[in-house]
Amino acid sequence: MIYGERIRFRHIERSDLPTFVRWFNDPEVRENLSVYLPMSLVSEERWFENRSQSHPDEQIFGIEVPEGDGWTLIGNCSFFGFDRRVRSAEIGIVIGEKPYWNQGYGTEAMQLLLKHGFETLNLNRIQLLVYETNPRAIRTYEKAGFVYEGRMRQAQYKNGAYLDVLIMSVLRPEWNEPQA
């Protein structure tokens, strides 16, 4: 487990897959993700099998919050697209449980993911891609320390329109600055 102030990360389990399918079949959750079609449990199981064969650094974390005597799964996140020679990777996140939106959990998860990436995985650069139409996520990433790098024009197609995709990143020296 990796613990933050109000959340923890754990590896996902097969038993989490029905929850993921529920999230990804909700058009409001799916709106800002690269997932564009409804998902079946069979396809999610296939995805899980493929991801479970990945390098340990690329395993998916479940994002959980304490609730009662246990923990509740509210989202997931991961590193992927590693370039180990230059010590860089990309990250992705989803808070799938809508009652937990707009409460700072995404920001805390991003900060915890950065800490893990820089302190445990020894990365120098962590990047992400975000749709221009997702201001809530952009604010979350900026609060966590991400810097806008550029724009891929009309790089995504959603709901009958082309969208620009923004590139944001954090470098290790930038992340270390607030710690000093």
The residues annotated with a catalytic role in the active site are: 141
How many other C-beta atoms lie within 10 A of the C-beta of residue 110? 23
Strand order in the sheet with 8-11: 2-3, 8-11, 61-67, 70-83, 88-95, 125-131, 161-171, 147-158
What the block records as the tokens of 8 is: 């923890």
Q: For the purposes of burial, counting CB atoms within 10 Å of the CB of 105, is it exposed (0-12), middle (13-18) or buried (19 or more)?
A: buried
Which residues, in sequence order, are CB contacts of 152 under 8 Å at separation 6+? 129, 164, 165, 166, 167
| Helix-then-strand count for the chain, H and E | 6, 8
Q: Please tell me the distance from the alpha carbon of residue 71 to that of residue 24, in angstroms, as a whole number.
A: 21
